[in-house]
Amino acid sequence: MGLGAARRTVLVTGAAGFLGSHLVDRLLAEGNEVIGLDNLVTGTLENLADAMKSPRFHFELGDVRETIGVYAEQIFNFACPASPVHYQADPYFTLTTSVTGIQRVIEAARGRKCIIVQASTSEVYGDPLVHPQPESYWGHVNPIGERACYDEGKRCAETLLFDARRRWGVDARVVRIFNTYGPRMALDDGRVVSNFVVQALEKTPLTIYGDGSQTRSFCFASDLVDGIVSMTRLASVDGPVNLGNPNEFTIKQLAELVSELLGGEVVYKPLPSDDPKQRKPDITRARQLLGFEPKVSLREGLDALIRDIRGRLDQRPRRAAAP
Ligand code: UDP
């Protein structure tokens, strides 16, 4: 922690998840008292192994949909399954985690000085008709499709937050997170970067859905966490802020990069419904407001992810990647 930086009591919901746990580590490194809430549906305590060593970390097993009995000066709401495989496994759970969860967070923050940072998502833009996506774009979401439980849940959470801000002056700040990858992603997460790495290391073919021409822009976890924590350093932030890496790749290019590093054949599978054809964040606003600039290249980030996944696969009985 830098001299003069204030120590705060911070609540992270979804603390045992991939991003939640990296955020917890950063907040602890900055000297804060951190309470981590998680129901361990997709998160694991292994992700919090480092945090657990700190006397300033307190873990609470619980669901964000229950009343929050914690008095925190900042709440980072990261509770929600985020990979399509996981969030579609129980759509009711996913949608209520976003919507009821944010109600509970607002109730905990309302009427006092408390910053909420909400983990929203590029999924609010759906299968976008505008490219790259600026925050001003309202999106193109199928409200009754297989991704809707996540997309509409996150959209509704934004709605509730901005209403809470207008009506009650709740200090709500929203980050729209684009595709992010890095160490600690669950081996069965199913998202493309970790899936390809698991598949290549297990010597099974890399599964490209569709023809692989769809695009995504991949941000390394530590870069994303830089942006998230900087959201609390401003006196106020009005309106959502995109966070992600604007370097865009086709899924085919990603598969080629992974097989260049690890070997591996590719196999083509059907494209899931409502799969966005292209995605790339316009991060002009994050650059201007936060000085946000992703630093880790896909190649460097992949090396770190490969080391992490290789280590975990070596320690475990073989587990298959999601189909
Ligand atoms: N994808 C793929 N193979 C996989 C997993 C995903 O081709 O093993 C594709 C998926 O159809 C999508 C893109 O990769 O077009 C990104 O998928 P992911 O699940 O990582 O995140 P999304 O951006 O779709 O939420």
So what's the pLDDT on residue 264? Answer: 85
Write down the pTM of the prediction: 0.96
Query: Ligand 1: distance of its center to the CA of 206 in Å?
Result: 12
At 219-263, the pLDDT tens digits run 999 999 999 999 999 999 999 999 999 999 999 999 999 999 999
Q: Active-site residue 150, yes or no?
A: yes
- pLDDT of 4 reads 45
Query: What whole-number distance in Å separates Cα of residue 318 and Cα of residue 278?
Result: 33
Average pLDDT in the chain: 96
Kindly report the protein residue whose alpha carbon is nearest to atom 5 of ligand 1. Answer: 192
The number of the ligand 1 atom at minimal distance from the alpha carbon of 82 is 25
Kindly name the residue from 71, 92, 125, 150 that is annotated as catalytic.
150
Residue 281 clears pLDDT 50, i.e. is over it: yes
Q: Angle formed by the axes of helices 192-201 and 298-315, to 10°?
A: 50
> Domain extents for the chain?
9-180+220-244+279-295
Q: Are strands 248-250 and 215-217 parallel, antiparallel or unpaired?
A: antiparallel
The vertex-51 CA angle with 48 and 52, nearest 5°, equals 85
What DSSP letter does each residue of 273-321 carry, written as one string? TT--S---B--HHHHHHH-------HHHHHHHHHHHHHHHHHHS---PP
Cβ–ligand 1 distance for 248 under 6 Å, the answer: no
- Residues 25-37 as b/e (b if ≥16 CB within 10 A, e otherwise) read bbbbebebbbbbb
What does the pLDDT average to over 10-28?
98
**In this predicted model, what pLDDT tens digit does every residue of 159-212 receive, in sequence order?**
999 999 999 999 999 999 999 999 999 999 999 999 999 999 999 999 999 999
DSSP code for 140: B
Burial class (CB in 10 A: 0-12, 13-18, 19+), 15: buried
Measured CA to CA, the distance from residue 197 to residue 309 in angstroms comes to 8
What's the mean pLDDT in 127-153?
A: 98
Write down the architecture of domain 9-180+220-244+279-295 according to CATH.
Answer: 3-Layer(aba) Sandwich (3.40)
What number is the average pLDDT over the span 114-138? 98
- Ligand 1 centroid to Cα of residue 215, in Å, is 9
In testing the pocket of ligand 1, which one of 122, 208, 216 has its CB within 8 Å of the most ligand atoms?
Answer: 216
